[in-house]
């Protein structure tokens, strides 16, 4: 399990904390928002890209750039809502950059650094 150490949510309020868990079958993320609400979703990658816990009019694709680097695209109809560039830097550190285009408001970039929790 990885804990997020650094957030940049395009000037928006930063979450209190976040967790992500990756396996060869996909990933799940949970974030405790600045106002104390819990948000969680996931992606299964065994047979394409399947979303869990996300509104049903969204779809996803992913491209494996290298075994340690993927690009995740989230679409609403023909409109791209999020492009996530996710890279495992070393066995304990993952960097993410998400280009977000919300249905309302201006586009922004989210950046996180996820560090493996010490055991």
Q: Which domains does the chain have, with CATH numbers?
A: 2-116 (2.40.128)
The tokens of 59 are what?
Answer: 């779809």
Confidence at residue 17, expressed as pLDDT on a 0 to 100 scale: 82
Task: Please state the rounded mean pLDDT for residues 70-95.
Answer: 93
Cβ contact 114:98 at 8 Å: no
Task: Please state the rounded mean pLDDT for residues 58-82.
Answer: 95
Per-residue pLDDT of 22-64, as tens digits, reads 888 988 989 888 899 998 999 999 999 999 999 889 999 999 9
Residue 15 has pLDDT above 70, yes or no: yes
How far is Cα 101 from Cα 79, in angstroms, rounded to an integer? 9
Residue 1 has pLDDT above 60, yes or no: no
| Residue 3: band (very low, low, confident or very high) from pLDDT cuts 50, 70, 90 | low
Confidence at residue 18, expressed as pLDDT on a 0 to 100 scale: 82
What are the backbone angles phi and psi of residue 64, rounded to the nearest 5°? -90, 110
Q: Is 40 helix (H, G, I), strand (E, B) or coil?
A: strand
Whether pTM exceeds 0.85? no
């Amino acid at each position: 399990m990885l804990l997020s150490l650094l957030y940049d949510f395009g000037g928006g309020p930063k979450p209190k904390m976040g967790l992500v868990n990756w396996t060869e079958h996909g990933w799940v993320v949970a974030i405790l928002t600045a106002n104390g609400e819990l948000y969680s979703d996931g992606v299964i990658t065994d047979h394409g890209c399947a979303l869990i816990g996300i509104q049903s009019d969204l779809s996803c694709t992913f491209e494996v750039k290298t075994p340690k680097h993927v690009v995740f695209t989230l679409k609403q109809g023909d409109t791209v809502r999020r492009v996530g560039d996710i890279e495992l830097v070393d066995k304990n550190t993952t960097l993410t950059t998400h280009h977000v285009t919300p249905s309302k408001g201006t586009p922004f970039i989210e950046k996180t650094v996820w560090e493996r929790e010490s055991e």
